[in-house]
Amino acid sequence: MNRWQTIWDARADFAAGFGNTVLLAAVACAIAFLLGCALLFLLEGRDNAWRRMLRAAINGLRMLPFLIFVYVLYYGLPSLGLRLRAWDAGLIGLALYHGAYFAEILRGARLVMPPGSLEAAYAHGYRRGKAFLRIVLPQLALRTRGVLGNQLILCLKDTSFLSIITVPELTAAANSVQARYFIPVEAFIVAVALYWLLGIGIEAMLRGIRRVGLRRGFEHE
């Protein structure tokens, strides 16, 4: 039988894996970005023991390999009496791990952000939370969109590790097809093409964000 015909016959497996990857990546990236924003807000202000502990926790997550982190969540937590489904462990792992990176990306941009716009906001009666949401965060998100976009792609690619804990995502689907029909090259070519397609979608989204930045004056041609 033609190998590509076999791939076509197994399209339902790829479609299910692709859908799970899209869902996992989209939800995890959204939660991770919101978590990163929340962590940045908590790090705002004078240095104290609490903020030093929070920075240490963020750095600890960033230094930990993602695969080991997922293993700990899925295989380690049951020894403490907490058992997570593979899907839940994968989603929580992606969100927490990449949330730490988003926080650090935004914090780096915050350190070099000119103080003028924030001082003007306070002069007009903005409180700390409102100034952060309306003034600080939009500027940081637009100015770091390239780095944030890279992190989104990394989060997308990290979903492939979740096949190790039996999450039925795209890599798991490709591995299942190649093991069943002994066509590893064709199966993984399809998987790579689908990951590439998702990456192009993220790049298109970033270009749309750039247009917003141009209209609002945060960027220039």
Each residue's pLDDT tens digit in the chain (221 positions)?
A: 588 999 999 999 999 999 999 999 999 999 999 999 999 999 988 889 999 999 999 999 999 999 999 999 999 999 999 999 999 999 999 999 999 999 999 999 988 888 777 778 777 778 888 888 888 888 888 888 889 999 999 999 999 999 999 999 999 999 999 999 999 899 999 999 999 999 999 999 888 877 766 676 656 55
- Is 221 a member of any domain? no
pLDDT of residue 142: 83
pLDDT of residue 115: 77
Tokens of 146: 């390239």
pLDDT of residue 219: 60
- pTM for the full model? 0.90
- Is 218 a member of any domain? no
Contacts of 154 (CB under 8 A, 6+ apart): 98, 101
CATH of residue 25: 1.10.3720.10
pLDDT of residue 141: 87
- Is 217 a member of any domain? no
Q: Which of 93, 101, 91 is nearest to 21 (CA)?
A: 91
pLDDT of residue 74: 96
pLDDT of residue 217: 61
pLDDT of residue 103: 96
- Is 53 a member of any domain? yes
For residue 2, which phi and psi values (nearest 5 degrees)?
-60, 135
Is the Cβ–Cβ distance between 14 and 22 less than 8 Å?
no
- Is 35 a member of any domain? yes
Q: Which of 214, 183, 147 is nearest to 191 (CA)?
A: 183
Domain count, the chain: 1
What is the domain range of residue 58?
3-211
Helix (H) or strand (E) holding 109: helix 86-111
Geometric angle at alpha carbon 95, from 94 and 96, rounded to 5°: 95
- Is 219 a member of any domain? no
pLDDT of residue 23: 97
